[in-house]
A and B are shown apart, each in its own frame.
Chain A
Amino acid sequence: MNRLHQLFQEKKNLLSIFFTAGFPNLNDTQTIISELSKSNVDFIEVGLPYSDPLADGPTIQDSSQIALQNGMNLDIVFEQLKAIKETNSTPLVLMGYLNQLLKYGEDKFCQACVDCGIETLILPDLPMIEYENHYQQLFQKYGLTNVFLITPHTSDERIQKIDSLTDAFIYVVASSSITGAQGEISNQQIAYFERIKAMNLKSNLIVGFGISDKKTFDTACQFANGAIIGSAFIKNVESTGVNGIIDFIKSIK
């Protein structure tokens, strides 16, 4: 059983934070992870900065561009993560785009994940059919699990299928949207969360996209095992630097 599974069994209302590796500075990765761990964040999504992040909004895209300008690349991020493998106890999830894995080399990428203690991947542009045809086998070889996204427009039938394919968690995209904090959670969104909850899926559910503060986090937790905050965290790091991380997390949980 991997560390995420254990976490889901032991705890409710999980808080996950997404940050872009290499932002605001190239070498902030380890500090950010350690500050988040100290703040009792339950698991951390490490974003691999990409030149053309289709599923991300302006905040994450801008942070990615700065990270790339800072010189961040896959070799460096894997080195940084490897260096804290023994000391960091907070589970890490890697989020990137398929082309990064393709170009780096599928096996080399997967092996690097294993070397860093990464067990879970989120590749938003990896479609289910490609996963079934090829990547499922590849990831299994390295003990990696893949997270799929669902949206208000994903059919029940497709959600059932995703539920059968994933052994990590299902990423419940809060709205038909790209990433980026948006304020309130609407009644329409709540109806969608309720629909998903009522499906009694075997997978754990984590809500993301549009979760930005205590209120939206608490609402999401009523329907899921927890929620992910990304853009709002990045904005906070941008304005207060890594020293403001603990206070930001305190304001949520």
Chain B
Amino acid sequence: MKSKYEPTKEGYYGQFGGAFIPELLYPNVKELEDNYLDILSSDAFQKEYKDLLQHYVGRPSPLYLAKRLSEKYGATIYLKREDLNHTGAHKINNTIGQILVAKHLGKTKIIAETGAGQHGVATATVCALMNLECVVFMGEVDIKRQAPNVARMKMLGATVIPAISGSKTLKDATNEAIRYWIQHPETYYLIGSVVGPHPYPDMVARLQAVISEEMKVQLKAQTGKENPDTIIACVGGGSNAAGAFYHYLEDEEVVLIAVEAAGLGVDSGESAATSQLGDVGVIHGSKTILMQDEYGQIVEPYSISAGLDYPGVGPLHAYLHETKRAKFMNATDQEALNAAYELTKIEGIIPALESAHALAVLPKMDLKKEQVVVVNLSGRGDKDLETYINHLEA
């Protein structure tokens, strides 16, 4: 039986999803829609995908019992170490998969959008690996904020094109990538999260699902338990959360917690807590929850974390929120910073700012000693060192 958390043929999770694309993009999206499930389930794809995840990315990523963190919060806390993946985050699980899909479709040129640059780097990496041309769109503002990642992409052979429209950040980079795709229909658009028109949200969720697939096996081996009690993951667009939740969606007893970035506070006007501030609308080809004004103009979100300041969430997450299958919490900039400093000091792990948001809800939860909690540590903090240093001195 098909899971109720899988999209319909038209790409709907309840009322969310679909493919709201200009006719100009129809052939591209249709080609992908017609082929992605067959490609993903083919032996050739599976063999190459798994082989690369193991030997190139370094999977399985460890499931680590964080003893001191557990002691501090009075629970049994595991960290799923996506930060140890090649290129430093979960993003590579998706780019490895999609680059193979692109190859199966015979595409030779790849385009991508990026905010903080993590997905851009992960895309440039797999393009280097596969010898494919790579063009990455990045907001002009983000290019200035994330210079090391821009340099990495260029070193990997990618062309980085600044998005100079709108607010010059992630949403505008996505707009520019889509425009370029319209003008160059021969290219493959490698989307970095569970957003965009169907079939992207489903395809990216399936490619990130390796996270929860491994968690199931690892948890059983380490604790004898089938399932954790609670899983916590941060949500910008929502790809790491989709991956961490995926194989537990139907295990209704597992509490799924999605953590959004509250920025300076949910009601401060400087926030990215989409589920709290948004309502139903269409963004980047998908019907979902998004931050908008009373006339449907998209509002620019804010977070200290460049990976979480997206004005929407993926349609699966909108559905999990609406059906209350996942609990949505949030953490402010300061709470995330505190959580990052804490993890660094007591576990010797510097998390990405995004992942620090997931850790930051631990103090807000009513935890019990025997409660098994898995926090998806989606990325490492190297890219955020400058922010961490600045705030440490302040």
Contact = CB atoms under 8 A, between A and B. Distances in A.
Interface stretch (A121-129, A186-194, A243-251): A121-129
B56 interface: no
Given A102-B281, A176-B183, A61 B165 contact: yes
A178 B183 contact: yes
B24 A52 contact: no
A210 B34 CA distance: 31
A51 B297 contact: yes
A59 to B, nearest CB: 11
A102 B24 contact: no
A125 B185 contact: no
B111 to A, nearest CB: 14
A54 interface: yes
Nearest to B10: A129
Interface in B9-45: 10, 18-24, 26-27
A52 B298 contact: yes
Contact of A99 (B23, B165, B179, B283): B283
B283 to A, nearest CB: 7
Nearest to A124: B22
A100 interface: yes
A54 B295 contact: no
Contact of B179 (A54, A125, A129, A150): A54
Given A52-B175, A61-B165, A153 B185 contact: yes
Interface in A179-211: none
Contacts of A154: 23, 26-27
A102 B18 CA distance: 15
Contacts, number: 105
B166 A65 contact: yes
Contacts of A57: 179
Contacts of B21: 125, 127
B166 A52 contact: yes
A103 B175 CA distance: 20
A99 B296 contact: yes
Contacts of A158: 26
B130 to A, nearest CB: 25
Contacts of B285: 125
5 contacts: A99-B282, A125-B285, A148-B23, A176-B24, A178-B179
Interface of A: 50-52, 54-55, 57-58, 61-62, 65, 68, 73-75, 97-104, 124-130, 148-151, 153-155, 158, 173, 176-178
Given A149-B23, A153-B26, 5 more contacts: A52-B175, A54-B179, A98-B20, A127-B19, A154-B26
